[in-house]
Amino acid sequence: MSKGLTYVALALVLAFCSIHAEAKQRTRLPALDWSLRVGVTGIYNDNVIRLSGPDQNAFRRYDPVFRTPLETVDDAETEFSIAPSIVWRAPSDLMVNATYRFKGVQRAKNDFTNYQTHSLSATLRPRVKGYRWQIRAGMFTIPSFYLRIYRDRDLGVYDAAKFENWEYTADVAVRPLESLWLSVLGGTGTFYYNPRFTEYDSDFSELGAEARYATPWEPSLSFRYMRRVSNNVGKDQAASGNPVIQDGAVTEDSEYGDGDANEDDFRMTLRSPVRVAGKNVLDASLSWRLRRRVYTTERPIEMDPFHRGRLDSRWELTPSLTWAPLQAFDLNLYFTYEQRRTESDIAAVANVKDFDRREFGIGLSYKIN
């Protein structure tokens, strides 16, 4: 009996020493940790400002009616990104992750269309293995994005239309099953234009849901749906009364439009490792997105042919492959095809708004710490 008690006591001592050593190791972990990811991507974009087929033809034949400072319809792009992040081991066994990401796009021949994006996000979750919930808040902005040249009908001059975009988002995610995450998402934001085109300033709000499922054989699938309601707050700042249909032709819709719209946004992504000789060598993904926007103006079609009764269907497909020869180093190759088709009672609207775009990219990224 005493020998058995000795074995039990010894086992308890060893277990205590193991727990104490693990606890001591945990106390040595810093309360704050950081990492940094930097990347560069080379891109070929065959339709830089998303011109329709007729507009591309007008550009190539030097049509004086089609005004644009474009050097070429397509262009080579260089995308730089930098993303520092901080991890805070907060009290009450909580973990806080904060990440800032900057992206800058430089174009070789049409540098007036260069742009930047900034995003900031923070996530709160339990500091335990197999955690079951998390909360995230985020902010995204594009300080200036070039669209194209439009005509100001009041002054009879042409000017570049650019907008500034701000978005604020939040989501709550729970994991009812080991392999399934369910999220509720919401957001609000603004699109504000340069002073020449304030009639297109808009506010929007959105609400949606997302499901992410990791299959037992490793591929994962995610599906997201968002409903956005956009209010064209700047339309009342513009004068009204001038028709935009003259002699059966549509004039450029740079003013007097009502861009109120509802949009359904569907996204689906399939990811899977690619095995070679029993090892995961590549990470493959296929992303699909569809946006269906219905314009809800009550203005008659003679006053607003670009929006009255208009439906935009815009979808894109992106297959990609990622190779990680080292834990901190990634090589990514992707292709994106994007298309917009417009339904309208005025045939000329589709001639201006329909477009196709293809993008090829190869990128490198490196993670520090």
- Residues 66-96: tens digit of each pLDDT: 889 999 999 999 999 999 999 999 999 999 9
Most confident of 90-94, 247-251, 279-283, 357-361: 357-361
The pLDDT assigned to 6 comes to: 44
**In contact, 349 and 21? CB cutoff 8 Å:** no
Q: What gap in Å lies between CA 58 and CA 60, rounded to an integer?
A: 6
| pLDDT tens per residue across span 141-164 | 999 999 998 877 666 778 899 999
Instruction: Specify the fold of 32-368.
Output: Porin (2.40.160)
* pLDDT mean over 259-276: 94
Q: If you search the block for the tokens 């292709």, which residue do you land on?
A: 335
Residue 226 has pLDDT above 80, yes or no: yes
* pLDDT mean over 239-254: 50
Taken in order 66, 72, 75, 79, the sign of the CA dihedral is negative
CA 229 centroid distance within chain = 18
Q: What gap in Å lies between CA 26 and CA 184, rounded to an integer?
A: 33
Q: If you search the block for the tokens 């849901």, which residue do you land on?
A: 209
Mean pLDDT of the chain: 88
Computed on alpha carbons and rounded to an integer, the radius of gyration of the chain in Å comes to 26
Q: What gap in Å lies between CA 367 and CA 365, rounded to an integer?
A: 7
DSSP 279: E
Phi, psi values for residue 300, rounded to 5°: -65, 155
CA 109 centroid distance within chain = 25
For 233, other C-beta atoms within 10 Å of its C-beta total 19
Q: Which amino acid is at 285?
A: S
DSSP 284: E
How would you write 6-70 as a 3-class SS string? HHHHHHHHHHHHHHHHHHHHHHCCCCEEEEEEEEEEEEEECCCCCCCHHHHHHHHCCCCCCCCCC
Q: Where are the domains of the chain?
A: 1-30, 32-368
| pLDDT tens per residue across span 268-292 | 999 999 887 677 789 999 999 999 9
Taken in order 124, 127, 128, 130, the sign of the CA dihedral is positive
Residue 235: pLDDT band (50, 70, 90) is: confident
The pLDDT assigned to 313 comes to: 98
